[in-house]
Amino acid sequence: MNARQQLGAFGERIAAHHLEAAGMTILERNVRIARTEVDVIARDGADLVFVEVRTRRNAPGLAAESIIPAKLQRIWGFALAYCERGGHDPDTI
């Protein structure tokens, strides 16, 4: 595992702990469907939460600013495919 991968794994662990501390239940980590991977899938009450972790070191701006529209579109598609695969109705979660 190279330094970049180690930093990413560290960020994912921190994010998962933060979500758990906020009362969410971590369902899965590093889930891949087709060509898209989502770092954390959690449950917050009745809601499924799809989390893309962006660990940045010495980069200006917010991590959310680094998610381009194409990536966001892939995450939406992933969420719909995940719901379909798991038998979840995306309109009720």
SS3 annotation, the chain: CCHHHHHHHHHHHHHHHHHHHCCCEEEEEEEEECCEEEEEEEEECCEEEEECCCCCCCCCCCHHHHCCHHHHHHHHHHHHHHHHHHCCCCCCC
Average pLDDT over residues 59-80: 88
Predicted confidence (pLDDT) at residue 93 exceeds the cutoff of 60: no
Q: Is the pLDDT of residue 87 over 90?
A: no
Averaged pLDDT, 23-52? 94
Structure tokens belonging to residue 41 = 């899938």
Q: Confidence band (pLDDT; 50, 70, 90) for 20?
A: very high
Residue 43 has pLDDT above 70, yes or no: yes
Rounded mean pLDDT of the chain? 90
Q: Of all residues in the chain, what percent carry a pLDDT higher than 90?
A: 63
